[in-house]
Amino acid sequence: MRCLVRSSFKIRQLFGSRDCSSYVSRMRYLMRLKEDDEACLRALQSGSVLLYHKLAPLLMRTERGMYQLPALQATDVKGILGKLGKDEQLLNSSVLIGCSDDNVPQFSLDVGSLEQAAVEELCGGVFIDLRKAFFLLKGPEAPLVSKGQALLRWHQTHGFCSTTGQPTQRNQAGSQRVCLANGATYYPQMAPVVIVLVSDGRRCLLARQSGFPRGMYSALAGFCDIGETVEETLRREVAEEVGLEVESLLYSGSQHWPFPQSSFMVACHATVSPDNGEINLDGAELEDAQWFGLDEIEEALQRKTPLRNPKGESSVFWVPPSYAIANKLIQEWANQQKKS
Ligand SMILES: NC(=O)C1=CN([C@@H]2O[C@H](COP(=O)(O)OP(=O)(O)OC[C@H]3O[C@@H](n4cnc5c(N)ncnc54)[C@H](O)[C@@H]3O)[C@@H](O)[C@H]2O)C=CC1
Ligand SMILES: [Mg+2]
């Protein structure tokens, strides 16, 4: 199996236009905040804070009917806590998630212990389940809100050491937890997943699980088994799910995917021989898999929202929305087909 990586081109494309020195200083600053609890606590006082209620992020509706993240500062959050008669110390349980381009440290905080409606009223926003919020936000706000939720979720589910059973304690940034009994350090985790768009040179292969929304087909995906390389996972998943032997692969990009929990999606294109393209479906995982031609794919890519039949269900073929890396793979394949 051949493995091709568009390395130098990709690196220039991703990072070429950035002001390198300010990027470096921001990353060094974040690194320091992860290591120095007091510096992180000070940074929090002048930082911006994304609020969540039981892991649902707070969004604000704009005058144009769109949604965005409210620009809350730490002082605003203290004000809200004060008005609700709650201890300001709750702010200190925020976790560090990044630093904006204008050098403001960014944190996320779950206020699930407060009354949801009261916080919404004071903020002029609404807490929306991440599955919906993710698709309502534009640009870098969607990945930021998913990162904030992923880190909060990890803390909520890793309060105890799996060896001693004793409570673990987080550092101020929230980048790790330590067991006080045996000193074991735990770091936030993502589960690696390979997502692959298989092509036979003329058509691409998309599949659907029974739990997908009606009519939606996506690229094949599968979790990496322990000890596997990306290439091995890709080859195994394609063999398992559709019974095909991959001949070559090309890395495309990656994405943090928050559903159902944190996955690290590694996206690739792969080819199979047109002479051996007969699909042999694994019915336990997939409901259907089909080869699609360029015309069908282009039509599906242009469908912004799925058409609905009178029962409210989509009856046509559509593909995941632009935020999903599956969409990027399908778009790339279509562009490539048009060139050749
Ligand atoms: N961002 C995107 O464009 C897309 C993302 N995805 C995501 O990819 C992920 C993997 O796709 P699947 O086809 O479901 O994987 P899969 O083909 O590996 O099947 C899932 C099964 O793998 C097992 N498994 C092994 N390790 C697991 C782990 N760490 N977490 C959960 N289950 C594990 C479970 O038995 C589970 O039922 C899904 O979470 C899905 O949300 C899928 C398609 C598009
Ligand atoms: Mg799968």
Tens digits of per-residue pLDDT, 262-304?
A: 999 999 999 999 999 999 999 899 999 999 999 999 999 998 7
User: Is the ipTM here above 0.85?
Assistant: yes
- Judged by DSSP in three states, 8 sits in helix
| Ligand index nearest the alpha carbon of residue 262 | 1
| Predicted pLDDT of residue 9 | 44
> Probe ligand 1: pick from 153, 154, 193, max atoms within 8 Å of CB?
193
Calculate the dihedral angle through the C-alpha atoms of 195, 96, 162, 111, rounding to the nearest 10 degrees. Answer: -100
| Predicted pLDDT of residue 305 | 61
Q: How far is the CA of 222 from the centre of ligand 2 (A)?
A: 4
Ligand 1 and 242: CB distance under 6 A:
no
Number of other residues whose CB lies within 10 A of the CB of residue 101 = 11
Q: How far is the CA of 208 from the centre of ligand 1 (A)?
A: 12
Tell me which residue has its CA closest to atom 6 in ligand 1. 221
- Judged by DSSP in three states, 163 sits in coil
Tell me which residue has its CA closest to atom 17 in ligand 1. 222
| Predicted pLDDT of residue 314 | 56
Task: Give pTM, 2 decimals.
Answer: 0.90
Please check whether residue 337 is in contact with residue 331, taking contact to mean a CB–CB distance below 8 angstroms. Answer: no
Give the position, in ligand 1's atom list, of the atom nearest the Cα of 260.
39
Q: How far is the CA of 248 from the centre of ligand 2 (A)?
A: 19
Length of the chain: 340
Please check whether residue 33 is in contact with residue 40, taking contact to mean a CB–CB distance below 8 angstroms. Answer: yes
Please check whether residue 319 is in contact with residue 327, taking contact to mean a CB–CB distance below 8 angstroms. Answer: yes
Strands 220-223 and 126-127, by their bridges, are unpaired
Q: How far is the CA of 268 from the centre of ligand 2 (A)?
A: 14
| Predicted pLDDT of residue 138 | 84
Ligand 1 and 31: CB distance under 6 A:
no
Q: How far is the CA of 297 from the centre of ligand 1 (A)?
A: 23
The span from the CA of 301 to the CA of 225, in Å, is: 32
Give the position, in ligand 1's atom list, of the atom nearest the Cα of 326.
3
The span from the CA of 273 to the CA of 265, in Å, is: 25
CA distances (Å), origin 263, targets 111, 145, 223, 255, 314: 24, 15, 9, 8, 27
pLDDT tens for the 340 residues of the chain, in order: 554 545 444 444 444 444 557 999 999 999 999 999 999 999 999 999 999 999 999 999 988 888 999 989 999 999 999 999 999 999 999 999 999 988 999 999 999 999 999 999 999 999 999 999 988 898 889 999 999 999 999 999 999 999 999 999 999 999 999 999 999 999 999 999 999 999 999 999 999 999 998 899 999 999 999 999 999 999 999 999 999 999 999 999 999 999 988 999 999 999 999 999 999 999 899 999 999 999 999 999 998 766 555 555 557 899 998 889 999 999 999 999 999 8
| Ligand index nearest the alpha carbon of residue 216 | 1
Tell me which residue has its CA closest to atom 31 in ligand 1. 223
Ligand 1 and 257: CB distance under 6 A:
yes
| Predicted pLDDT of residue 135 | 84
pLDDT digits (tens, 9 = 90+) for 11-32: 444 444 445 579 999 999 999 9
